[in-house]
């Protein structure tokens, strides 16, 4: 029975990741294929070729994104986008949703932003307990002015769903920046701490040596 259970677990560990990856890719491809609906029906690939080829929507989606970025990067495009954003800001409910989505996209995808670029170790929910967090902002304006400290904003994700979590303000001196990448931290969070990013013994030795030097 123990051998049978070992074989069963080994089979699960092979098929579960493959199945989840397949379903996620299938969902992403299917979502992008819906961009083909932008093409008039007589000119769609399934009409011209007579067969449905999955994945063609990816090419169209990338093309639309590149062309949109090209237009938005020039003078006329910037003026159009500015006018569109002014219109969105005048609609009460839409204003909150649009500005929130825009700010989030700028934080995540902008190369100039430092948001979600660092994995942090903070003492949360109380001193002596540690949690993984992601840096979202370091320029907090009024919050920093009223606290009188150099503080940063951190997002503490929940597990196994890292899309929800808590926003907390932490003094910079109480934050430890980790060497692990953001995707490695996400794997650790989603796996409930089972998947631990590798850290070499040399790095551990250097850290212990630095701690001993500081204590001396």
117 vs 109: CA distance, rounded Å: 10
Please check whether residues 90 and 12 belong to one and the same domain: yes
- Structural domain boundaries enclosing 8: 2-109
Region at 48 (left for phi over 0; alpha for psi -120 to 50; beta for the rest): alpha
Does 133 map to a domain? yes
Does 135 map to a domain? yes
Please check whether residues 28 and 71 belong to one and the same domain: yes
Please check whether residues 101 and 177 belong to one and the same domain: no
158-196: per-residue pLDDT in tens? 888 887 888 999 999 999 999 998 889 988 888 888 888
Please check whether residues 6 and 100 belong to one and the same domain: yes
Strand runs labelled E in the chain:
119-123, 130-137, 151-157, 165-171, 176-177
**Higher pLDDT residue, 177 or 99?**
177
Does 78 map to a domain? yes
53 vs 51: CA distance, rounded Å: 6
28-59: per-residue pLDDT in tens? 788 777 777 777 878 777 777 777 777 777 78
Please check whether residues 60 and 143 belong to one and the same domain: no
Identify the domain boundary among 62, 88, 109.
Answer: 109
Helix, coil or strand: residue 135? strand
Instruction: Please state the φ and ψ torsions of residue 39, each to the nearest 5 degrees.
Output: -85, 135
Does 9 map to a domain? yes
Please check whether residues 94 and 163 belong to one and the same domain: no
120 vs 138: CA distance, rounded Å: 13
Does 67 map to a domain? yes
Please check whether residues 68 and 129 belong to one and the same domain: no
Region 143-153: mean pLDDT is 89
Please check whether residues 19 and 78 belong to one and the same domain: yes
Identify the domain boundary among 109, 140, 159.
Answer: 109
Region 2-18: mean pLDDT is 84
Contact predicate 167/136, CB 8 Å: yes
80 to each of 86, 136, 146, 149, how far by Cα in Å?
10, 29, 38, 40
Does 202 map to a domain? no
Residues ≥6 apart with Cβ < 8 Å to 213: none
Residues ≥6 apart with Cβ < 8 Å to 164: 157, 158
216 vs 210: CA distance, rounded Å: 10
Per-residue pLDDT band for 133 (boundaries 50, 70, 90) equals very high
Please check whether residues 87 and 7 belong to one and the same domain: yes
Please check whether residues 88 and 163 belong to one and the same domain: no
Instruction: Please state the φ and ψ torsions of residue 14, each to the nearest 5 degrees.
Output: -85, -45
Task: Provide the token pair at 172.
Answer: 């910079």
Per-residue pLDDT band for 201 (boundaries 50, 70, 90) equals low
Per-residue pLDDT band for 107 (boundaries 50, 70, 90) equals low
Kindly report whether the peptide bond that precedes residue 160 is cis, defined as omega within 30 degrees of 0: yes
Q: How large a percentage of the chain has pLDDT more than 90? A: 15
Residue 66 has what pLDDT? 85
Please check whether residues 38 and 130 belong to one and the same domain: no
Number of domains in the chain: 2
Please check whether residues 81 and 159 belong to one and the same domain: no
Does 208 map to a domain? no
89 vs 95: CA distance, rounded Å: 5
């Amino acid at each position: 029975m123990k051998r049978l259970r070992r074989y069963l677990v080994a089979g699960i560990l092979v098929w579960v990741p493959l199945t989840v990856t397949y379903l996620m890719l299938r969902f992403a491809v299917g979502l992008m294929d819906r961009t083909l609906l932008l093409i008039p029906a007589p000119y769609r690939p399934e009409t011209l070729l007579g067969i449905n080829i999955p994945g063609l929507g990816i090419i169209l989606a990338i093309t639309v994104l590149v062309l949109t970025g090209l237009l938005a990067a020039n003078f006329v495009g910037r003026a159009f986008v500015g006018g569109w954003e002014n219109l969105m800001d005048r609609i009460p409910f839409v204003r909150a949703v649009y500005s929130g989505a825009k700010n989030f996209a700028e934080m995540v995808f902008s190369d100039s932003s430092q948001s979600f670029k660092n994995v942090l170790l903070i003492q949360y929910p109380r001193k002596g307990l540690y949690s993984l967090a992601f840096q979202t902002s370091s320029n907090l304006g009024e919050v920093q002015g009223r606290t009188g400290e150099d503080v940063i904003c951190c997002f503490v994700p929940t597990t196994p769903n890292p899309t929800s979590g808590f926003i907390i303000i932490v003094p910079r001196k109480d934050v430890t920046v980790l060497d692990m990448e953001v995707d490695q931290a996400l794997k650790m969070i989603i796996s409930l701490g089972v998947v631990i990013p590798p850290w070499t013994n040399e790095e551990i030795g250097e850290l212990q040596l630095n701690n001993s030097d500081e204590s001396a």
